[in-house]
Structure 1
């Protein structure tokens, strides 16, 4: 038998232990059960107002190939980062245009990945893609991205996968123009790391340049679990990412 399901380490969690993780990595029930059973002992519940935040859900057609759509960097990850960005925008009192730029950046940031490993350069590819297709993307997402906020969104995407200490002089100069949007996209992306099948890979906020409130951690964890569970139960992505009221 050669199918992935027949292999002893077919689970995402099992494959994470391999020396060379595969290019394609997707959530499965065993991995989600493993993650759920290790839910940290969070002490601060999220406030009611976060329910006002909405995820922007990217189209499956925006990904480099079909294998990426349901992967750990696929539609649901990008949508959750969009929503987490919207929540962080509330926390940091961003105005409407800046918050929209952050949410759009979250929805697009990983959509041009070639694989589910590190994939150097995927941020710049997604940034270029947004630059070239901004009107069509924002129309599809039903948002109005102010013209002056397109470049900050593009920059945040381009830098989201690059450690601060690795910025080139050109990148550093660009960063100093819109540091908050870059910082908050990195924070939103970091918060969705609870989906990864090793606790050592979960959010490390010491790498960030903004403070993440304690209540955002259980919010991010539960958002990931509920949306991944819904998808495993055969909900479509729109349904999986729409919270029940």
Structure 2
């Protein structure tokens, strides 16, 4: 992210993102460790620490909205927080979902301990399934991917939706959220929350904030009406 791109995004705010609600300050995003990324530059990129943290917050809001139980909510937060951590670059990288799922299988004890999460094995497995196909369009699922999806359909749908909501960070409006590609009815108010969360956290980072401070700035922004 650079200042000119962020300024353009802010100046071209879609009408759908007019914010009508303030989000209580209790949703706590999970920030992945920089060391979990394939390289240091990836942690700073558009699929890096802040993106994964914002997606975890947005996923948690969706989980609350739909009334998920504690284990499924925690599994969704876990999946969202690390879904892009094994990308090789910021391009398509079609294998990154499966790569991240395999990585989580090997490192889930360290990851969940770092986040303070206590999850049964089946919840971690569901998170892995969701991660492995989060970047694949439903219409292009292979038979094996359809089988994976069938084992964690709700978590996959919610992870895809939360990931999609953070696409306002991308520098072309044709890359912004397309709700027709989702299988979740995202409440209208979340689009404005997602836009302002991204805008405030990315501006804070450009102003010199740490990843944690930048996400905190985003949380503060969405907890108040503009």
What TM-score do the two structures reach when normalised by structure 2? 0.93
- Asked if 1:92 is matched to 2:66, the reply is yes
- Asked if 1:183 is matched to 2:150, the reply is no
In 2, distance between residues paired with 1:221 and 1:46? 12
Cα pair 2:129 2:151 within 8 Å, conserved: no
In 1, distance between residues paired with 2:111 and 2:17? 38
- Asked if 1:134 is matched to 2:103, the reply is no
* Counterpart position of 1:210: 184
Q: 1:61 to 1:46 in 2, by over 3 A?
A: farther
In 1, distance between residues paired with 2:151 and 2:200? 37
Q: 1:184 to 1:50 in 2, by over 3 A?
A: farther
Can you list the C-alpha shifts for 1:32-63, whole angstroms capped at 9, x where unaligned?
Answer: 00000001123763544553211000000000
* Counterpart position of 1:147: 121
User: Which SS does the other structure have where 2:4 is aligned?
Assistant: helix
* Counterpart position of 1:195: 169
* Counterpart position of 2:94: 120
Unaligned runs of 5+ in 2: none
What TM-score do the two structures reach when normalised by structure 1? 0.86
1:36-75 matches, within 5 Å, as: 36-42=10-16, 45-75=19-49
User: Which SS does the other structure have where 2:109 is aligned?
Assistant: helix
* Counterpart position of 1:220: 194
Deviation at 1:167, TM superposition (A): 1.2
Can you list the C-alpha shifts for 1:138-172, whole angstroms capped at 9, x where unaligned?
Answer: 11112222222011100100000111111121221
* Counterpart position of 2:79: 105
User: Which SS does the other structure have where 2:151 is aligned?
Assistant: coil
Larger Rg: 1
Can you list the C-alpha shifts for 1:82-113, whole angstroms capped at 9, x where unaligned?
Answer: 11110010111101110110011001000000
In 1, distance between residues paired with 2:166 and 2:52? 9
Give the length in aligned residue pairs: 219
Q: 1:43 to 1:155 in 2, by over 3 A?
A: closer
In 1, distance between residues paired with 2:57 and 2:212? 13
Cα pair 1:50 1:87 within 8 Å, conserved: no
User: Which SS does the other structure have where 1:209 is aligned?
Assistant: coil
Cα pair 2:17 2:191 within 8 Å, conserved: no
In 2, distance between residues paired with 1:48 and 1:200? 27
More helix by proportion, 1 or 2? 2
Unaligned runs of 5+ in 1: 1-26
- Please report the RMSD computed on the Cα atoms of aligned residues, expressed in angstroms: 1.3
User: Which SS does the other structure have where 2:200 is aligned?
Assistant: helix
